[in-house]
Structure 1
Amino acid sequence: MSGKYATETLHVEEGGIARAAEILRDGGLVAVPTETVYGLAARADSDAAVARIYEAKGRPSFNPLIVHIASLAQARTLAEFSPVAERLAEQYWPGPLTLVLPRRRAAGLSDAVTAGLDTLALRMPAHPIMRGLLDAVGLPLAAPSANRSGFISPTSPAHVLASLDGRIDAVLDGGECEKGLESTIAAVRSNGAVEILRPGPIALEAATKGEGAIEAPGQLASHYAPGKPVRLMASEVAPDEFWIGFGAIAGDCTLSESGDLTQAAARLYACLHEGARSDKPRIAIAPVPQTGIGIAINDRLRRAATLPD
């Protein structure tokens, strides 16, 4: 498959999972809901299919992909699990935790999935539609966020189509995503240490922050960008700024009127999309507490505010 596509919108109640599985087995691309954001899925064992992800997203080839799996047993065939990795998987899977582990060379995955690295990023999603699709396809699926590379992640089918309509084969409609923030990514090292490569919904208290080379998505300095200058910690707003509020600051769009960080995480990308669509040339964002999932929210906001090199 190549060139432009008539992007289908598939509905679960109309056989959408079976149709999506058919497209994926044939090497196509399908945007799929997860509990975090919509992912752009392709079969992870096909060089051609994985190449289409990079092409559709305009994604740098050095930025590896997360591979989604249906079970821990399937994951063990793709990567090496230490006792620490086993404990993390058993505690947090299925759910919004991605583990970066030593890859098995005999796993049969496309080398492009790992961007040539010796590690592999694995996640077992909790969303029933994505889990149903993994069962129906019977293959591990590479699935980064379903948006153009570097821009705002999608939490609804409309967000996906605004960025990728005509570039992918289908969108499997699962409504709004529950968490609204990408998974926590943790690398388990050979000495048992755990490093956080990207903060997210799951906080691992004993982990340290990874500062090395890019091993997983979301580590680029400029990412999640709305295409306009973004100003953080804004307690007041200029006339030409779209204001994203939090708590007592209502703004033009609020992350959470009550100051609830979980709600703020779920609404973050929806507000950034609204700001990107507004006629205001700049975006200002109210202060968000640097605690709990607020750490992950502020990580995304800092990258959204960073201009690309």
Structure 2
Amino acid sequence: METVVYTIREDETTNEGYERATAVLREGGIVAFPTETVYGLGALATEEQSVQAIFEAKGRPSDNPLIVHIGSTSQVEQLAQNVSADAYALMDAFWPGPLTLIFHQQHGKVARNVTAGLETVGLRMPDHPVALELLRRVDAPIAAPSANRSGKPSPTEAAHVAQDLNGRVPVILDGGSTAVGVESTILDMTTTPPTILRPGGVPRESIQKIIGPVQEDITVKAHAAPRAPGMKYMHYAPEAPLFVVDPTVIELKEAVRQIHEKNQKIAIIGPDELFEKTADWYFSIGQLNDHRTMAANLYRALRQCDLTDADVILAVETNVSGVGSAVMNRLTKAADGKRYPEDQQ
């Protein structure tokens, strides 16, 4: 399969790329496109065979549900049941934007493999002009996970998509770098109180200002089906083993010394303030407490590590206020829960 990349400016509504992408989707194919969070790999959510092509291109486990992207709030009740006043308040506050809401599904409206056999469906309206124009043209819900090989860092640029999926997807719409840089927050509206299943671009604090207390449950038992993407499997991982490390100069210097003593090379992902010149590579992702900038740069830094020959990667811990919760969720997943030096062999 040949992969064709179409560059689209944000203010451009007439482009050959839109026409080609729309045709591919309507013919049952898959398309990569930008959102404000990360690039998505989309198929018509109503077509089981089309959705199956997403799982095959990504190498994604079939029990991992997909988020359904919509272009209008009027589509919500076509796809979901029991949509509460709180849910509408959240839509008013954060849609279009990086918030996915999980509802009981209207049966028969999306393909069964979209929901991985669950009774619920996750919906969101993306905040990116290219995604919204594509949804307008297709005039149908699009199921879309991140446009990368499963387990790898999510793509925040079209070039990242091409690195992972060249020859596996016919069309990539290049809308530039994504703004948020981490996936959407997933909020389960079928529980009381609502439950955050994945932290993301909308912080818990912002949600609670709109609807009051919410709980968080980001774990899943080993043999249970995940209720949302990003819960069960190892995600976001670079090639070299990654460890989370305490955010202190002393800790970093000692870690570099120990790793160099083993004749190993080290890459560090961290804030501007903790730059460690003795590391072989240091990828800064922003100032220590600027969580939005850190989120926007995180996946790019993880992919930059793959362009080195580092033996070990250390990612500096940040606090979990605001979007910092999403940053640490992704780093913990990428490290498979490992910390330095506790889990270093």
Output the TM-score relative to the length of structure 1. Answer: 0.93
Where does residue 242 of structure 2 map in the other structure? 230
Where does residue 78 of structure 1 map in the other structure? 79
- CA–CA separation in structure 2 for the residues paired with 1:168 and 1:188: 33
Of residues 7, 10, 21, the one that matches 1:11 is 7
CA deviation profile, 1:60-105 (whole Å, cap 9, x unmatched): 0000000000111112100111222222222211100000110001
- CA–CA separation in structure 1 for the residues paired with 2:315 and 2:238: 12
Where does residue 216 of structure 1 map in the other structure? 228
- CA–CA separation in structure 2 for the residues paired with 1:307 and 1:262: 22
Contact 2:151–2:233 (CA under 8 A) maintained in structure 1: no
Where does residue 124 of structure 1 map in the other structure? 125
- CA–CA separation in structure 2 for the residues paired with 1:193 and 1:227: 39
Deviates more, 1:19-28 or 1:32-41: 19-28
- 1:1-309 map, 5 Å: 5-12=1-8, 14-80=15-81, 81-107=83-109, 109-189=110-190, 192-203=192-203, 204-205=207-208, 206-210=213-217, 211=219, 214-234=226-246, 235-236=251-252, 237=256, 238-239=259-260, 240-251=265-276, 252-257=282-287, 259-306=289-336
* Corresponding letter in the other structure for 1:208: Q
Deviates more, 1:257-266 or 1:52-61: 257-266
Whichever of the two has the greater Rg, that structure is 2
* Corresponding letter in the other structure for 1:157: A
| Aligned-partner SS, 1:277 | coil
Offset of residue 301 of structure 1: 0.3
CA deviation profile, 1:134-161 (whole Å, cap 9, x unmatched): 0011110001000011111000011111
- CA–CA separation in structure 1 for the residues paired with 2:99 and 2:64: 18
- CA–CA separation in structure 2 for the residues paired with 1:259 and 1:101: 34
> What RMSD over aligned residues (CA atoms) do the two structures have, in Å?
1.7
- CA–CA separation in structure 2 for the residues paired with 1:295 and 1:249: 20
Runs of 4+ deviating beyond 6 Å: none
Contact 1:36–1:96 (CA under 8 A) maintained in structure 2: yes
- CA–CA separation in structure 1 for the residues paired with 2:332 and 2:44: 32
CA deviation profile, 1:16-38 (whole Å, cap 9, x unmatched): 11221111111111110000000
Change in CA separation of 1:307 and 1:49 when aligned onto 2, cut-off 3 Å = farther
Change in CA separation of 1:147 and 1:168 when aligned onto 2, cut-off 3 Å = same
Change in CA separation of 1:49 and 1:221 when aligned onto 2, cut-off 3 Å = closer
* Corresponding letter in the other structure for 1:228: A
- CA–CA separation in structure 2 for the residues paired with 1:266 and 1:272: 12
Task: Extract unaligned runs of 5+ from structure 1.
Answer: none
Contact 2:270–2:283 (CA under 8 A) maintained in structure 1: yes
Task: Extract unaligned runs of 5+ from structure 2.
Answer: 277-281, 339-345
- CA–CA separation in structure 2 for the residues paired with 1:88 and 1:189: 14
Contact 1:244–1:285 (CA under 8 A) maintained in structure 2: yes
* Corresponding letter in the other structure for 2:96: P
| Aligned-partner SS, 1:149 | coil
Offset of residue 257 of structure 1: 4.2
